[in-house]
Amino acid sequence: SQQGEEDPQALSIQEGENATMNCSYKTSINNLQWYRQNSGRGLVHLILIRSNEREKHSGRLRVTLDTSKKSSSLLITASRAADTASYFCATGPNNAGNMLTFGGGTRLMVKP
């Protein structure tokens, strides 16, 4: 079954606005990762946040993790047209030998 589920499924904003995407999951995790996928391309790793971390930043990206609510959010500040892509969360389980599980993604469109 799907571990991570993103919300919303699609998001359309104007350039310069902030974009927030959410991810919820069901079982305990070791880490949560966010990836970006441009149309026709592979996934690109953005950020990994471990279960004992609450917030992490990378450039215009801010990721939060709330393990009590089993949820994470990805905030992109001052969005650009080039941020248009699909964004996926992936959960790394606590059990050794188990794999990353990806959600269905949020399609973000940033209008110039």
58 is a contact residue toward other proteins (CB under 8 A): no
Neighbours of 85 (CB within 10 A): 21
Smallest separation (angstroms) from other proteins to the CB of 105: 8
Binding to other proteins in span 80-109, by CB under 8 A: 88, 90-93, 96-105
41 is a contact residue toward other proteins (CB under 8 A): yes
CA–CA–CA angle 51, 56, 59 (5° rounding): 155
Could you tell me what percentage of the chain is helix, strand and coil, using 3-state DSSP and rounding each to the nearest 5? 5, 55, 40
Given 33, 79, 84, 106, the residue binding other proteins (CB under 8 A): 33
